Amino acid sequence: MTQPLVVIVCPKEFRFTDTAATVETPFLTDVADLRTVWLDFNAPIPDEVLAAHAIILWHGPLIGAAVIARLKNCRVIIRNGVGFDTVDIAAAAQAGIPVCNVPDYGTEEVADHALALTLALYRQLFPLDAEAKRLGWKIETAAKMRRLSTQTFGILGFGRIGTAAALRAKAMGFRTLFFDPYVPSGTHKAIGVERVDSLGELLRRSDTLSVHCPLTAETRGIIGAPEIALLKPGSFVVNTARGDIVQKAPVFAALRSGHLAGAGLDVVEAEPLRTPEEAATPNLIVTCHAAFCSPEGMVEMRSTSAKIARAAVLGAPVWNRVN
């Protein structure tokens, strides 16, 4: 008797998984035929994927409405990660296909990364490193360094990662506040941080803006030139969420003008950086959309996705549904 088909779809340029699916296999080998398909980001979706009963999708390729209409057997699409903006969740819901994500696998890693970028900016680690390697020093960046307890760490988006970042910032001595209209009343009391009622207030009061909201139609480009203008002169922007939440051009312009003292971006709009001019932007730290990375986090993510796929092919309820 033919087993249901589970397909792991991974872009060719990202070798986050292995062809043998060593993490997923123990959860699925007795209930499904498990295969890995490597695709270019914009490549057509092959028949093997279209025939799947469960799809585990790494970052890309896009699963739009036209693709979803051709999924005749699919019982679940699982985004191997937190963000699900590469899947048309409305079209999937209309087709009766649950879309699930793995929202908790990289909570520690991304929150740690956000604070690492923040501390690198506040303590001027990279300029000091460069100066020290010139075989002598004058501590030219001393005026840019700040005592953390005098600074306000503002968080946009207070889900799992935003909350974890708040606890870390609070432990480091920052005054910590957040804006998120969707979290329950009293959340700030439980965590011991301050809540503000508008994005404008968050921006005006923050010395560092740390972005932790999902990419949705509402949040796409939500931080642009008017919002950056509301930030204090000499403030920092940190983004470990999604690049398209923060508009790249006004951030780079504010770094060049000096309105922003620095930016720490694990993600950028239309990533990666496109030109030498972008890469030469002053006071900019960029990492490679890698905040989620750790061996432990990757195993946790892949295991969770495999467990959801197993439930789906067995006809059991799935969890972490976003549509």
- DSSP assignments along 233-246, one per residue: TTEEEEE-S-GGGB
271 labelled catalytic: yes
pLDDT at 43: 85
Catalytic entry in 35, 271, 278, 321: 271
CATH number of 5-103+294-313: 3.40.50.720
Is the preceding omega at residue 276 within 30 degrees of 0, hence cis? no
Q: What is the pLDDT of residues 46-61, one digit of tens each?
A: 999 999 999 999 977 8
- For the record, the structure tokens of 61 come out as 């390729």
pLDDT exceeds cutoff 70 at 15: no
Domain boundaries, the chain: 5-103+294-313, 107-286
Across the chain, mean pLDDT equals: 95
pLDDT exceeds cutoff 70 at 16: no
pLDDT at 12: 81
Identical fold at 5-103+294-313 and 107-286?
Answer: yes
- For the record, the structure tokens of 3 come out as 């087993």
Predicted model pTM:
0.87
242 labelled catalytic: yes
Catalytic entry in 289, 300, 302, 310: 289
Tokens 């959860």 locate to 27
Q: What is the pLDDT of residues 265-323, one digit of tens each?
A: 999 999 999 999 999 999 999 999 999 999 999 999 999 999 999 999 999 999 999 99
Give 42's pLDDT tier (boundaries 50, 70, 90). Answer: confident
Give 13's pLDDT tier (boundaries 50, 70, 90). Answer: confident
Q: What is the pLDDT of residues 67-88, one digit of tens each?
A: 999 999 999 999 998 888 889 9
Helix or strand run (H / E) with residue 250 = helix 248-257
Give 1's pLDDT tier (boundaries 50, 70, 90). Answer: low
pLDDT above 90: percentage of residues in the chain: 88
pLDDT exceeds cutoff 70 at 105: yes
Tokens 């503002």 locate to 154
Asked whether the beta carbons of 42 and 61 are under 8 A apart, the reply is yes
Average pLDDT over every residue of 210-235:
97
220 labelled catalytic: no
Helix or strand run (H / E) with residue 152 = strand 152-156
pLDDT at 83: 84
* Amino acid at position 95, single letter: A
Fold designation for 107-286: Rossmann fold (3.40.50)
**Cα dihedral 253, 259, 262, 268 in deg (nearest 10):** -30
Average pLDDT over every residue of 116-127:
98
CA–CA dist 250, 265 (Å, integer): 14
Give 131's pLDDT tier (boundaries 50, 70, 90). Answer: very high
- For the record, the structure tokens of 51 come out as 């025939």
